[in-house]
């Protein structure tokens, strides 16, 4: 299987190399801000000329066409931005020869991508969260620089080669990538250097020919219920504990944030405290990332089909709506408790877990099935199929009034997700499992049967079908 894969290594640069890395990242930020200023100035000039033409009696279409003709085309794409940079770089940046040309191209490429995303958002051709117009990069933003051409290679197990930066030692061995390159199973496409909490890293984006073994049990279907008390509960009864990475360092982060707020802006003590706070954030992110990688790797190498829910995290972590007190004032009841719940939900990173499962299952020949957002996994009885109208978060055990089943609510949800995955696979295939004793399709077992949304109100809301909500990656 030919895939794009990244290999990330921490660098061990000397003082001179560290200064060169900072210079390249600063040059990338400078090129981004310069190109953004050029685009904004040209757009402002076009708007000004258009207003003058309108005042002289021209129509809107004629004014816009005349203004664009006078000011010329706006450098919106990467080739146009590069042409303008090469034409003006000697005047605006006489020191440009100190860094590799890739550093400036990296900043202009980031700007071109931001402008394209904004244009696609306006035209309605871009999916996902809405984005606004590009804004200026500040000096405290994350520092990074991308190389696409030049001498980019792994010299040996402890050294990498980058354009203009030369040979840099790594803190961790690059044996795996070097062996793939020597055998011809990988090809480096680009390299990105970045800085985080005082540590420098290099990430190689490679085209790799992977030869992974299939899952040990390719016919097994497992459902995963993500939660806060436990990171995940599997349908086979396994419980993955939640590391609670943020809660482990929360007190230390609060102390450092208070200390930083008391320091004088621009002082060395404030800078030192901010570095300590950044290191604390790095530990939280590293702990969370390590647990998620271990879990997803184990699932992808063990099971052939993994079923998860399409969680609406943005809605789950929304602030509580203010309630009217009766005297014209409003109060957010339970705001502190809801804030704690939101923080715990975001600490589990459900979107990152789903992203890792998507590509790792593809490596091992597995399949990811995503249950619909309104699939009542927690309220549906895994034994008889009855659905509860209400189920509060405080109820940790699921009790079915119809068949008398008493089971942990997370395990019950995982079992329902596993059954959902089997039904989705049967719909994709022959589908004999959906027939009941009378030869007809069971109303609750049919994947294309309409289901009420899981809103806990009992009112007939928007109906969705399981087959339309399930997707495979």
Query: CA–CA separation, 41 vs 39, rounded Å?
Result: 6
Q: Catalytic positions, please?
A: 225, 309, 410
- Nearest Cα neighbor of 196 from 11, 27, 23, 352 is 11
**The dihedral sign for the CA sequence 424, 429, 433, 436:** positive
Q: How many CB atoms lie within 10 A of CB 289?
A: 14
Tell me if 387 sits within 8 A of 381, measured CB to CB: yes
- Residue length of the chain: 473
Query: Measured between alpha carbons, how far is residue 164 from residues 17, 150, 193, 446 in Å?
Result: 10, 9, 13, 62
Tell me if 278 sits within 8 A of 197, measured CB to CB: yes
Buried b (16+ CB within 10 A) or exposed e, 138-164: eeeeebbbbbbeeebbbeeebbbebbb
Give the phi and the psi of residue 192 in degrees, each rounded to 5: -125, 125
Beta bridge partners, 7, equal 204
């Amino acid at each position: 299987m030919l895939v794009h894969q990244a290999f990330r290594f921490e660098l061990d640069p000397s003082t001179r190399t560290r200064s060169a890395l900072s210079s390249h990242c600063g040059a990338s930020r400078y090129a981004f801000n310069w190109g953004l200023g050029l685009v904004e100035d040209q757009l402002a000039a076009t708007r000004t000329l258009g207003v003058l033409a309108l005042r002289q009696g021209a129509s809107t279409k004629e004014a816009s066409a005349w203004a664009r003709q006078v000011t010329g085309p706006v450098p919106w794409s990467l080739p146009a931005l590069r042409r303008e940079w090469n034409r003006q770089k000697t005047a605006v940046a006489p020191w440009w020869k100190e860094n590799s040309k890739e550093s400036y191209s990296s900043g202009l490429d980031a700007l071109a991508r931001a402008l394209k995303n904004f244009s696609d958002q306006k035209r309605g051709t871009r999916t996902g969260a809405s984005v606004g117009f590009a804004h200026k990069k500040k000096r405290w933003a994350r520092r990074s620089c991308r190389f696409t051409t030049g001498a980019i290679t792994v010299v040996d197990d402890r050294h990498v080669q980058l354009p203009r930066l030369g040979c840099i030692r790594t803190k961790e061995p690059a044996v795996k990538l070097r062996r793939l390159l020597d055998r011809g199973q990988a090809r480096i496409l680009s390299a990105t250097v970045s800085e985080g909490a005082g540590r420098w890293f290099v990430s190689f984006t490679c085209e790799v020919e992977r030869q992974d073994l299939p899952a040990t049990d390719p016919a097994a279907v497992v459902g995963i219920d993500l939660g806060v008390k436990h990171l995940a509960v599997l349908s086979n009864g396994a419980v993955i504990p939640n590391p609670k990475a943020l809660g482990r360092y929360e007190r230390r982060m609060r102390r450092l944030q208070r200390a930083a707020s008391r320091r004088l802006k621009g002082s060395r003590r404030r800078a030192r405290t901010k570095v300590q706070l950044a290191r604390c954030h790095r530990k939280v992110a590293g702990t969370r990332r390590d647990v998620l990688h271990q879990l997803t790797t184990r699932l992808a190498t063990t099971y052939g089909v993994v079923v998860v829910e399409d969680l609406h995290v943005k809605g789950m972590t929304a602030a509580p709506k203010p309630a009217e007190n009766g005297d014209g004032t409003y109060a957010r009841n339970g705001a502190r408790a809801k804030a704690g719940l939101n923080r715990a939900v975001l600490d589990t990173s459900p979107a990152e877990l789903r992203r890792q499962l998507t590509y790792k299952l593809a490596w091992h020949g597995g399949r990811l099935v995503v249950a619909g957002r309104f699939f009542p996994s927690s309220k549906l009885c895994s034994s008889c199929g009855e659905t509860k109208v209400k189920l509060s978060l405080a109820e940790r055990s699921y009790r079915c009034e119809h068949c008398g089943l008493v089971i942990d609510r997370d395990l019950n949800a995982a079992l329902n997700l596993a059954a959902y995955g089997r039904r989705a696979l049967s719909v994709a295939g022959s589908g004999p499992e959906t027939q009941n004793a009378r030869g007809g399709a069971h109303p609750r077992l049919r994947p294309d049967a309409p289901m009420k949304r899981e809103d806990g109100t009992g009112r007939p809301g928007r109906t969705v079908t399981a087959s339309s909500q399930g997707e495979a990656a």
